[in-house]
A and B are shown apart, each in its own frame.
Chain A
Amino acid sequence: MEHATHQLPGLMTRTEADLRQIFLRQVEAIPAGERIKRCIQCGTCTGSCPVSYAMDISPRQLIALFRAGELETIMRSRSIWICASCYACTTRCPSGIKITDVIYALKRTVMEKEYESKAPQVQVLAKLFVDNLMSYGRLHEGTLIRKYYMKTGIFKLFGFIPLVKKMLETKRLALFPKKIKEHKSLSRIIKKAQEIEMRHVPEKLEYSPEFVGYRGLGDMKLESRKGE
């Protein structure tokens, strides 16, 4: 059955439909997120991006691929991890698309599906950042950087010796992390927020063959989102 639908032109595969459902849920959380439908493929985003030269898929292409039902290709790109979220594209998009936030939504979709990434170091950093925050409530840069390089290339740590020396000389280095006072209450808040988040995740994704492109978005809740 499923195989048959694969063959039909313009219809999405099951994987693609799954991804799209997760991604659109993320897009819904962006104020004015539905503007993604308005892309005119002008390329202003790519032209404004200071790092597009280093991307394998440009920001304009990201939207084109989503529209064409190729989210899976995006999931495996390194582009979304290079975005430093400077918002140059978002500021200039003539259609008002929140491109930076769309890229954040793509990152979260990858994290949720646990795709193998072309830039695993970014996920390593993100996870360590979260761990750091969970343990102390505040970020301790020293711990973060030390753990990061211990996971991604320990020899690089030696390169930091001169910097560490300078930081000590100028009293800019806290050797040990310290916890916030209400650390326990912050943990409870985070735990509760995780629970709430799970309520919004459907247990089983339903698959019905949908069209690629915007046709399939016609009855999305996205229509009613405010912010226009």
Chain B
Amino acid sequence: MKYAYYPGCSLEKTQRGYDESVRAVFKALDQELVEIDDWNCCGATMYMSVKETVSLAVSARNLALGERMGLDILAPCSSCFTTLSKTNRILNEIPEMRRDVNEALAEGGLSYSGKVKVRHPLDILMNDIGLEAVRARFQRNLNGLKIAPYYGCQIVRPDKTFDDRENPMLLDRLFRACGGDVVYFPMKLRCCGGMLMTTFEETALKLNKELLECALDNGADVMVTTCPLCHMNLEAYQGKINNFYKTTFNIPIIYFTQLLGIALGLPAKSLGLDSSFIPLGKKVTTLTEVFYA
């Protein structure tokens, strides 16, 4: 299948590991990704700050570009995924909104009729390609690597999209099939605080401390993420959490597509594993045969 790829602002640079691994994994599974030409920011936080029509129009420009390509949109960033899906839903359910937004889009020579679907890579991997077909491509066994699957709050909420809203299982099933030992991780959906790390730092530090604690207490070697914001908070701020709470967390945080890429036998470099801040640890590095300095 062919998808209109919407990387989103974080994946462009600061979270290049996610971008590179999504591209590599999809290529390895014979899926074609065509990046949407000249996409713009999905608007994420704008939802709260500006007028409804403006945030919808900003977001809808991307939907319109996708529609012009005649393809469904693939959005790996949880925040983009939720924002674009939500815009899509509002434009489809409230005709007056679609009329208003189209009037604005016309200024840029665009229009949107509501035909595009917004998809998350996990959904495509598990529900379109299917676990059996992915399993057939496995090259490496994850050898009982203990994995805490962190879904984050956005990919299955607010609307029921492609997995359960209280106890999603797709990541669990995927990595169990790879030979990983998916540990009990009851906080799989607990919020990381997102932008609170900037605006209410102490609150966010607490949320992330609890997540890391839960993963560690259940014996995880590595925590797997699906969202750039969760990833940033858990990875880049781990040192700050340690300073604040006098803890000694040193848990590698990696994107689910990076770990899947390892199982598919893809070279570590093509998965952006060299961009991790926290040493990946012996268990992961022996799997990839690349040592992180």
Contacts and interface: CB of A to CB of B under 8 A. Distances in A.
A81 B45 CA distance: 12
Contacts of A174: 12-14
Contact of B57 (A138, A148, A190, A226): A190
A31 B16 CA distance: 35
B45 A125 contact: yes
A29 B97 contact: yes
Contact of A82 (B10, B56, B101, B203): B203
A111 B50 CA distance: 8
Using C-beta atoms within 8 Å of the partner chain, give the interface range for chain B.
35 or more
A130 B49 CA distance: 8
Nearest to A148: B198
A182 B274 CA distance: 33
Nearest to B94: A31
Interface stretch (A1-9, A66-74, A83-91): A83-91
Interface in A63-110: 81-82, 84-88, 90-91, 98, 100, 104, 107-108
Contact of A26 (B40, B52, B157): B52
Nearest to B157: A87
Contacts of B46: 126, 129-130, 133
A170 B276 contact: yes
Given A31-B90, A194-B51, A87 B158 contact: yes
Given A90-B157, A130-B50, A190 B58 contact: yes
Contacts of B190: 50
Interface string A109-152: 00100000001011101110110010001111100010010000
Interface in A18-42: 26, 29, 31
Contacts of B43: 133
B109 A185 contact: yes
A54 interface: yes
Interface of B: 9-10, 12-16, 38-41, 43-54, 56-58, 61, 89-90, 93-94, 97, 100-101, 103-110, 153-154, 157-158, 165-166, 189-191, 193-196, 198-200, 203, 207, 236, 239, 274-277
Interface of A: 26, 29, 31, 50-51, 54, 81-82, 84-88, 90-91, 98, 100, 104, 107-108, 111, 119, 121-123, 125-127, 129-130, 133, 137-141, 145, 148, 162-163, 166-167, 170-174, 180-182, 185-186, 188-194, 196-197, 226-227
**What 5 A-B pairs have minimum CB-CB distances, sorted nearest first?**
A126-B49, A86-B191, A86-B153, A185-B108, A87-B157
Given A51-B196, A125-B195, A196-B53, 17 more contacts: A50-B191, A81-B200, A91-B166, A104-B48, A126-B46, A126-B49, A137-B40, A139-B10, A166-B236, A170-B277, A171-B16, A174-B12, A182-B108, A189-B61, A192-B107, A197-B51, A197-B54
